[in-house]
Amino acid sequence: MVKKSIMPDLKKATVNIETASGIYKVKRPAGKIGAIHMELISKALPTGVDEDGKTIVSPADNIRFTESFKDWSDKVLPNIILEGSVFSYEDMPGDDQFAVFVAMFNTMNLNGDLFRFVE
């Protein structure tokens, strides 16, 4: 049976991310760690678009993405991985670290709808 990928409820404090190794329980980055997370995710974003408005990933974008992942895995991941995950941070394989980074990258609302003014 193929499991359907679902977007987590981002109002919850934790998300479950399944990798080839198993399921990781991850808390949403908050406070200072949340700010570091946003800084690194923002640095990882591609910067180019083609004439149709589609994102273009340049070699420079790939370098920034890789550097952001390295910093994120050192500064953010140890603070958000929770007990009950398939591996602890210290034992977590690199491909699982990358999968969790990409999953957390994809949960970010970076499409311009970050907020709205309300009365």
Closest CA to 25 of 94, 88, 70: 88
Cβ atoms within 10 Å of 85's Cβ, excluding its own: 21
Quickly state the pLDDT bin for 13 (edges 50, 70, 90). Answer: confident
In sequence order, the 6+-apart residues with CB closer than 8 A to the CB of 20 are 95, 96, 99
pTM for this predicted structure: 0.80
pLDDT digits (tens, 9 = 90+) for 57-97: 999 999 999 999 999 999 999 999 999 899 999 999 999 99
